[in-house]
Structure 1
Amino acid sequence: MEVKSDLGLFRWPVYSGWLVQRGASNGCAWFLQVIFILVYQYLSRSCGTVSSIAGRIVTGGHPESVGIASRDEEMEKRIFEWVANLSLGEEEEVAMYISKDDQEAAMRAWEAEKDVVKRQALEDEKKMEWKLAVMREKKRRVDAAAEAAEELEEAEQYDFSRSQHIAVRSIKLGFRDFARELVGAIGTEVGHRLDKTERFCVGAIEGVKAATPKEEEARPPRRKLVKVKFPDSYSGKREENFDNWEANVKTYVRLQQVSPDQQVLIAIHALRDEAASFARSLVRAANCSDDPVAYSSFTSLTEFLKLLRERFADVARSVKASDRLQTIHARKWKSARALKSTMDELVAVPDHGVTDTQLVGLFYRAIPEALRGHFFAKSEDPATTYDSLSREVVAFEAKSASVSTFWHKDLDK
């Protein structure tokens, strides 16, 4: 197909052959052919046929005719350059991303425009718009491809890490199976050796028994258990005596020969109300899950009773002990030994509140007057303790009593 004029200036095969040499497909060449025909028809309607234009140029027409011919030549040159500069990639991209309806609408708008300059401006504007749309679509596809590549990389990394995890897990399972088999083999071998050793020892013992004459050995009489009443339950109230309950529990455990790992269990069973709740809290605090049997297996009876004493001991008892210690010197003591025995019982009461320095002063003021002069300097020494001072005074008193007894016996003789 070719477009002919009177002078044969515009022949389509020239351009179509050139496009084919540039690598354009038949579809693209057909599209450019249509555009070229439309441009040619517009020039024909605006300025007359190409032959009349050429005739005017040959016959030497008026300057206006010469100007029109020059404009037509310029238009032809621009069309040729535009066709030459339209690359195959741009056409394919436009055909790929721009719908056919939009292209036809743009072409109709170009045909409707009579002014060449405006038409060119419309073409350039539409081409720029199409290029922008193509670039946006390309960017969207590139972003989508990049996102897909990133997701693929994450999936590959996850698969790799999971494969490593599976490999490590298989290694652990292999080690576990190996250890189980090894322990089983060792256990079997050890059991076999123990059986042999046991049979050998039993045989040796039986042989010795058979060789030794049998003699009846006098066995000590088996001690019968004394029947003791189970201790009364202790609730932790102030009117109840904790010391008596503690003594009853110790007596019961002793006479019934309760094993050490069950003594605390017996004491817990002898509690009720608030005291039982406190015992359960001790069991939970030891992470035994409310199991008193497990708690009793590693807790001594002394430690358990100490905790109960700290919680439920009579507070008035310590106050009474403190009052008696503060007024111990008001009584006239004839013996330092009796004074020391009484003060030792009061000092043993927990939380009595009397310091060791005060005990030294109270003991010194309460001893008989005959002994005070010997221990005045000792009582004023800050390093002196109640225990050391009381022992020295009792020892000095005993020594003085023995000397006095010996002197009186000598006088009697």
Structure 2
Amino acid sequence: MSSSITSALAYATTVSTPAIASSIPEEAAKKVHHAKDGKGFINPWASYREMSVSQILRGLIWRHLSGKANNPDTTPPTVNVRKPEFLPSRQPREQQAPSLRATWLGHACFYVEFPSGFRVLFDPVFTARCSPFSFFGPKRYTDVPCQIEDIPTIDAVVISHNHYDHLSHPTIMKIKELHPNVHFFAPLGNKKWFLDCGITNVTELDWWESRDISLSAVPSKDQSTTAKPAVTNPFSDSQGTSAPPPSDIKATVGCLPCQHTSARTPFDKAHTLWCSWSVESGGARVYFGGDTGYRTVPELPKHEDDYGHEHADLPHCPAFKQIGELRGPFDLGLIPIGAYEPRYIMSPMHADPADAVNIFRDTKCRSALGIHWGTWVLTEEDVLEPPRRLRKALASHNLPETGVFDVCEIGESREISLGKVNS
């Protein structure tokens, strides 16, 4: 749908607390993830090991000096990039079963088109570098598949946390410029960042909190009554056939736990919350994992399987099973599979493919797509290793290597039919 079509109709957005409160775990009600001094947040599980920025940097520098570090080769070809195709309108396609449509735009960014017409952009970063600087920091080895201008409709932007590969100031400002009615959702403590950017249509949430969002179609003042139908009716199909506008679009956005941390500078670690998300609309449910660890793995000899029987008792994060029990099942999970080596440093914060399959099972997703890989070199694993290890992890659980938990090309869209959920 062109921007001229979408501009013909505006949406009034209402965000409200659900009338019926959902159940939450007892420890969440006690706010055990809030730091005791009231400043910032913690991961309240035995599955997490705290490491300071200096500890992480010392470990990584020593690996390079000692020759243990792997330097991933980003020489093309790596991950294929294609130009995405978005649905021409919000109107459900006739004679077709309701389905989700999810398009990977690189790293953790997914654009999801719900059967209700609701359109959500998760963790968008369209800059060349994930850094506070345009000239320094990790640079893309795969191109962005499109520009923000190419995305026809964005109703909500959902942010998992404030790291630069998930929250980009230039990207957020461009989205707000092109989609002034968009509503932003972020975890607790991040609202000030948006307000400082001049953005007021933002809701921050704590773990296990939810908000209902309602979009009511309102014709814009400049809508012409003499223009061609393809312009005046934003609910025309690709052939210009007129269709009535839908009723109000409704969705529920939920903030959920994950095992990670936050920071925009060396001095504000864990000052704001990190989270995963659920979004439900039109009978479809999506789980967005954002960026998360699952277990903490000790330093092991090279090639030793940290899921071997001698490591079976390592604690894993209980929040994902709670998410599956209290918010699942989900039609689609967007689950991180990359940025995991070396494991003894990265595992508290970043899931590897074996962790990702366990998160998939715990959260009761029927299908999943891998995120958090294929865009920037953030850690030491080879750039095409995550999909290979994902297939191996699926096989270890007697799950099909394709068709259940997949990866896709950057810019590729996947249709997710709505049906029975994996248990």
* Shorter-chain TM-score above 0.5: no
Higher strand share: 2
Larger radius of gyration: 1
Higher helix share: 1
**Bigger RCO of structures 1 and 2 (CA < 8 A, at least 6 apart):** 2
Q: How does the TM-score come out when normalised to structure 2?
A: 0.17
